[in-house]
Amino acid sequence: MRDNFGQMGLRGRWPRGLVVYATSQVVVLLVALIGAALVSKDADWHPVWTVVVLGVMAVGAHAFVIRVGNQRLSPSFVALVLAMILLGPAPAAAIGAVTMIVDGVRTKIRPLRLLPWLNNVSTYAMFPLVGALLARAVLGSDLHNPAYLRAHSLALALTVASVFLLTNALNFVLIAIHQRVMTGRGIVFQARTLLLPMLPSELAAAVLTALLAIAYAELRNGEIVLMGLVIVLAVYITLVRALARSE
């Protein structure tokens, strides 16, 4: 989920409240980037092809954002969760931030829409960092060992699904707070009208992502990851679009 750039509607000088809020978003982004740098390990960036595949998939999938109300749901979430689990905090946060930076360049962001874009960048840097740290806390720091992952496949699947749902909730909260500040829409109202209707597709995507993570651990095959991720993203997009049309 990401904020819709078109909802900002700011003109002229920002009120003090918005300046404070913008400053808070800069702080969130800095905390995420500094935190990622502090916990970064060389092993997190290997194998390099995994970093590249997940990064390209996250950026590419984001081009197929789905509009739901005044929000846009991004299929890149699946690739980001896999980065949280299979790589680590720093790569996941980096991929998330780069995804939003590229999105801003692609949509030719204008000055009046900088605040929604800043919110998107800070959000997409923060929740992958939190998710990866959570996964590391649950599964330990030996996530790059194939034998370890194969021996703990059930724990891996449960962790992937849990991290998917928890970070999805965190992502929603961060974006919903932005909408509350910018438009006055209550967070509970947004949860009822945006989050709850999408739960079936999110649960399905969480299960598919968990299965893909297990396949990665068992096979360690780049082609399987690439093809599997494409299939999961296609299924996710189809489910979300179907649910969005039904609302």
Longest Cα–Cα distance in the chain: 58
Determine which of 51-60, 143-152, 171-180 has the lowest per-residue pLDDT on average. 143-152
Beta bridge partners of 71: 3, 68
Cβ within 8 Å of residue 68, ≥6 positions away = 194, 197, 198, 240, 244, 247
Q: Do residues 112 and 106 lie in contact, with contact meaning Cβ atoms separated by under 8 Å?
A: no
Look at 24-28, 40-44, 201-205 and tell me which has the smallest mean pLDDT. Answer: 201-205
Instruction: Give 29's pLDDT tier (boundaries 50, 70, 90).
Output: very high
Sign of the CA dihedral with 165 first, then 98, 92, and 94 last: negative
> What share of the chain has pLDDT > 70, as a percent?
86
What pLDDT is attached to residue 221?
61
Quote the pLDDT of residue 238.
79
Each residue of 69-111: pLDDT tens digit? Answer: 656 677 899 999 999 999 999 999 999 999 999 999 888 777 6
Rounded CA gap, 93 and 69, in Å?
A: 27
